[in-house]
Structure 1
Amino acid sequence: MVRRRTILRNGSTIAGSLALPGFASASSDTAASRPDDFLETNGTSFSIGRRSHYLSGTNNFWLADVWTTRDEVDAALDQAAALGLNTVRTWAFCAGREGHCFQPTKGEYNEAAFEHLDYVIEAAAKRGIRLILPLANNWGAYGGMEKYVEWSDTAEEHDDFYTDPEARQLYRDFVKKVVTRTNSISGIQYTEDPTVAMWELGNEPRAQQKGVDVLGDWIKEISGYIKDLDPNHLVSTGMEGFYNSDGDDWLRDGSQGTAYVDHHRIDTIDACSFHLYPDHWGVTPEYGTEWIEDHVRDARQRVGKPAYLGEFGIQVDRDASDAEQIARRNEIYDTWYDRLDDLDADGGVVWQLTLKKRAQYDDGFYVFPDDDRTTRRIERFANRMDAKSGRPLHADQKRRRTRHD
């Protein structure tokens, strides 16, 4: 059998040397940056090739969106790479939408959508960026779990997604279709490509109707199923990190049907996922700092696995063009990034760095390239995580860091 690293190196040479559709010619430095070792865990830390690794990244769901062009993919990933980010989280799901959605109708798959994801993976690989890929959505956007419920003859409500045999099988079929796919550009099976950092079972799964035990059973089943299909990659929940305890607020009292500690203790879950949105949750940014502290501590001391902040954001009123709001956001991001660093957390992935042409869709959480005061915070964190991972800064990164500091 040919070793996968041989395949990957050959694949990067092919992708880097041929003028593939949509690809700009890559320099030898870019081609050489393709990931060739899988993200792993070492106790309560991430590692790559036996060296500690910290995630610095951004979300960008637009990358895998059905209407995003390849040029836009390249521009967005160039933007992330220019800031020194090593991780991008983007959707690997779409159900019931028109266009080249992954699964536009029940049980039917659209090859064009999968070829677009192939391109996203290859474009990330060329830049040395790894991807976190959620496989379903708790929310209605891009179909969501309720689309599987709608397609089932026996399911009726959202949480039937976790228990209804037909809905579960439809989801398992889709998971297998994605996880075991062979990339049409590189010829590398997804299971053999270290560009995929981690699979997430879903984006922010909750079981508010059926409760913690039902969600726990589903997490155990599906994470085990993915591990059977793909023993090379890490698997996490993609959850927001709500507790099931005696807390005196809805984030901690179990009402969301999630249990941060118990659900991440499941053997086939490799890392602890949590998110942070004070503006949406009705709490203060100071509570957000406490949220970070609690989740990193509990991941280390009670679960024994790495913890990464998979989404976080402070909302800005773009219509008001209020410099004070942006200054407030930046101050909060500085505090959170510093706390992640001080606690030696395993990663922070902001929501979300994206292209200026998406401004019309901005909900106040978007970070654009010309938001220099915010992007420099993101870049500083990336530089710090690279230093902790033992990777020297590239010359252009050193120049940017000097300029920003």
Structure 2
Amino acid sequence: MIALAASLLMMGVVPADAATAGKPAGFVAVQKTHFTRDGKAYYIAGANFWYGAYLGANDKARLVKELDTLKSMGINNVRVLAVSEKTDMPSAVRPATTSAPGKYDERLLAGMDVLLAELAKRDMTAVIYLNNFWQWSGGMTQYLNWFAGTPALDPNVTKDYDTYMRETAKFYRNDKAQAEYRNVIRTFVQRKNTVNGRAYASDPVIMSWQLANEPRPGNGNATADEKAVYVKWIADTAGYIRSLDKHHLVSTGSEGLAGSAQDADLFVKAHQARDVDYLTYHLWPKNWGWIDSKRVDATWNDALAKSSHYLNVHIDYAKQLGKPIVLEEFGMDRDGASFDIKAPTTVRDRFYKEVLDVVVGRAEKGDPVAGFNFWAWGGAGRAANPDYWWKEGNDLMGDPPQEEQGLYSVFDTDKSTMALIRQYADRLHALERK
């Protein structure tokens, strides 16, 4: 940590609170290591709600119901997907927002307009991610299919995530893919809401533009050159967004060390860019093999120790960078690794409590914790098929099509989990009143 602090000084890290200058009313800003809104402290008690714009386009009644339920839980922020790309990969959402480069489904784009207008009614904000490293929305691998002619890789089919990550990282080097990606960014940042007439760039409901969901330099063996390309892509893209929109925050969508080849220096460099306003990280003990859901008693203590370290060390990196940090994904499955909505959530609730004790506890101590977004809100969605895999036309829920429906979703019948989230949301919101 001492060495890292010294390196930060040498790198001349710029404090993020320069982003507060000239901020219009209602916009979330950064002041030193915390968020503010209209001069008051602002903490995120948030949910991942990737399909929110899809509901805006296809099922407004359900969208209204979901937002009302989230609001009743103390949730004030949702993290949502901006755009999806049409692909032949079986584990991707359908229909897609983008049928081909530059060809958008206006009806689906307008779903984001509906979502933002409904969020405004509830004084909620949104983090909007503009791309996806993973295949479940088409994402970067589909860009490469379009512009490099390489197959859009579906690791649900190949079962080879190392190759998927290595190949998908070629997105950052492909000039045509980058040009189209910037077209997408410009399309959203410069869009005008068809519901309320408000330009996106002047809408304070949008808290942050996010580069992508879990971008990374490649797999765990990423080379020094691949890491350098990745860091430059983050700085350049964040700068491009800032050139179009001076008022909204910009974030990376990084998973943290797990998405940085376990390289702390890389994670720090990715977030030290002048136009990156705050740090992000995610926590996935089951996905990372830290816990066995069918042997919880035997694996819990080790998983908890690793999770606690992971949570705390990232907050320490934020402290040294002088920027806020958001834990924007964390999740756990139901008891016995069941996908059945009727299965208990004892282990999940236990895990959520341990995670939120760290995150909210450190926020209460004044550390640079800006809040959390749990993964993910399933709400009124229900799995339709005996094998729990999604098919087009089924309900959308927190688990995207690459995962079994019910794996990590918090449903509107999970009363104990909802009450727990409300408890910690209330503690964060109490800090805003101090």
Establish whether TM, by shorter chain, passes 0.5.
yes
Q: 1:133 to 1:378 in 2, by over 3 A?
A: same
CA displacement, residues 70-128 of structure 1 (integer Å, 9 cap, x when unaligned): 11211111111111111111111211259763211122122111111100111111111
1:52 matches 2:41: yes
Please name the residue that 1:353 is paired with. 377
Please name the residue that 1:145 is paired with. 140
CA displacement, residues 276-316 of structure 1 (integer Å, 9 cap, x when unaligned): 11000112133112111011111012x11000001110122
Tell me the distance in 1 between the aligned counterparts of 2:357 and 2:241. 34
Amino acid corresponding to residue 276 of structure 1 in structure 2: L
Amino acid corresponding to residue 310 of structure 2 in structure 1: W
Which of these residues, 310, 332, 342, is aligned with residue 361 of structure 2? 342
Aligned length: 347
Report the secondary structure of 1:80's partner residue.
Answer: helix
Please name the residue that 1:61 is paired with. 50
Task: State the shift of 1:271 in Å.
Answer: 0.4
Provide the aligned C-alpha RMSD in A: 2.3
Please name the residue that 1:223 is paired with. 238
- Could you tell me whether the CA contact under 8 Å between 1:155 and 1:164 is conserved in 2? no
Please name the residue that 2:269 is paired with. 262
Greater mean deviation of Cα atoms: 64-73 or 328-337: 64-73
Amino acid corresponding to residue 287 of structure 1 in structure 2: K
Please name the residue that 1:233 is paired with. 248
- Could you tell me whether the CA contact under 8 Å between 2:227 and 2:266 is conserved in 1? yes
Amino acid corresponding to residue 280 of structure 1 in structure 2: N
Report the secondary structure of 2:286's partner residue.
Answer: helix
- Could you tell me whether the CA contact under 8 Å between 1:154 and 1:166 is conserved in 2? no
CA displacement, residues 222-256 of structure 1 (integer Å, 9 cap, x when unaligned): 10000011111000000100269xxxxx96247xx
Which of these residues, 283, 294, 315, is aligned with residue 333 of structure 2? 315
Tell me the distance in 2 between the aligned counterparts of 1:91 and 1:102. 10
Identity %: 29
Q: 1:372 to 1:243 in 2, by over 3 A?
A: closer
Map 1:2-401 → 2, pairs under 5 A: 37-65=26-54, 68-96=58-86, 101-153=96-148, 157-208=167-218, 211-242=226-257, 252-253=262-263, 259-283=266-290, 284-301=303-320, 303-316=321-334, 317-319=337-339, 326-344=345-363, 345-360=369-384, 362-390=405-433
Task: State the shift of 1:358 in Å.
Answer: 3.1
TM-score scaled by structure 2? 0.75
Amino acid corresponding to residue 61 of structure 1 in structure 2: W
Q: 1:327 to 1:133 in 2, by over 3 A?
A: same
Report the secondary structure of 2:191's partner residue.
Answer: coil
Tell me the distance in 2 between the aligned counterparts of 1:102 and 1:364. 25
Q: 1:189 to 1:100 in 2, by over 3 A?
A: farther
Tell me the distance in 1 between the aligned counterparts of 2:149 and 2:381. 42
TM-score scaled by structure 1? 0.81
Q: 1:153 to 1:290 in 2, by over 3 A?
A: closer
Amino acid corresponding to residue 313 of structure 1 in structure 2: G
Q: 1:387 to 1:380 in 2, by over 3 A?
A: same
Report the secondary structure of 1:259's partner residue.
Answer: helix
- Could you tell me whether the CA contact under 8 Å between 2:86 and 2:94 is conserved in 1? no
Tell me the distance in 2 between the aligned counterparts of 1:118 and 1:146. 27
Amino acid corresponding to residue 204 of structure 2 in structure 1: P
Task: State the shift of 1:132 in Å.
Answer: 0.6
Report the secondary structure of 1:151's partner residue.
Answer: helix
Task: State the shift of 1:270 in Å.
Answer: 0.2
Tell me the distance in 2 between the aligned counterparts of 1:191 and 1:107. 20
Task: Show structure 2 runs of 5+ residues with no match.
Answer: 1-23, 88-92, 152-166, 291-302, 364-368, 385-389, 391-404
CA displacement, residues 346-373 of structure 1 (integer Å, 9 cap, x when unaligned): 1110001222333445242111111111
Task: Show structure 1 runs of 5+ residues with no match.
Answer: 1-34, 245-249, 392-405
